[in-house]
């Protein structure tokens, strides 16, 4: 159990366009979802935390108008990278946490974004 999926697994887009990444909890209700970014050979960097039905809480230095997060249901959160630039190219990973778990976060497989 506790499976999290992400779509797409990889995407290439042109500079200036927007990209939407979906994160779904397949067999549990995710009260909280997290979005991370990871650059090569670096650790995970938390971008934002979202709770179902409320606005996301962004980490310092993360532009909320550029990285739009929506957590409309207990099984789906989306991250939209708006007006993408080459420096946004990274590995984006979501994780989800449900009630009743020992605060463990279940990770999606990640989305590799390349902006050309």
The footprint of other proteins (CB under 8 A) covers: 34, 42-46, 49, 91, 93, 102-110, 112
Nearest-angstrom CA–CA distance, 75 and 60: 26
Residue 110 near residue 92 (C-beta atoms within 8 A): yes
Q: Which two tokens stand for residue 106?
A: 């279940």
Q: Toward other proteins, which CB reaches closer, 10 or 116?
A: 10
Q: Toward other proteins, which CB reaches closer, 11 or 46?
A: 46
Q: Toward other proteins, which CB reaches closer, 11 or 82?
A: 11
Q: Toward other proteins, which CB reaches closer, 18 or 42?
A: 42
Q: Could you tell me the smallest distance in angstroms from the CB atom of residue 66 to other proteins?
A: 22
**How far separated are the first and last CA of the chain, in Å rounded?**
37
Q: Could you tell me the smallest distance in angstroms from the CB atom of residue 16 to other proteins?
A: 27
Q: Could you tell me the smallest distance in angstroms from the CB atom of residue 83 to other proteins?
A: 26
In order of 14, 17, 56, 86, 96, the CA distances from 49 in angstroms are 27, 24, 6, 24, 10
């Amino acid at each position: 159990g506790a499976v999290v999926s992400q779509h797409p697994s990889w995407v290439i887009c042109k500079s200036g366009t927007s990209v939407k990444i979906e994160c779904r909890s397949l067999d549990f209700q995710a009260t909280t979802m997290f979005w991370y970014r990871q650059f090569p050979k670096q650790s995970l960097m938390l971008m934002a935390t979202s709770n179902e039905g409320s606005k996301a809480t962004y980490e310092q230095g993360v532009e909320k108008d550029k990285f739009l997060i929506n957590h409309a249901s207990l099984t789906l959160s989306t991250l939209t990278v708006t007006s993408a630039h080459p420096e946004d190219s990274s590995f984006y990973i979501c994780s989800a946490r449900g009630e009743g778990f020992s605060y463990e976060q279940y990770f999606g497989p990640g989305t590799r974004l390349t902006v050309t």
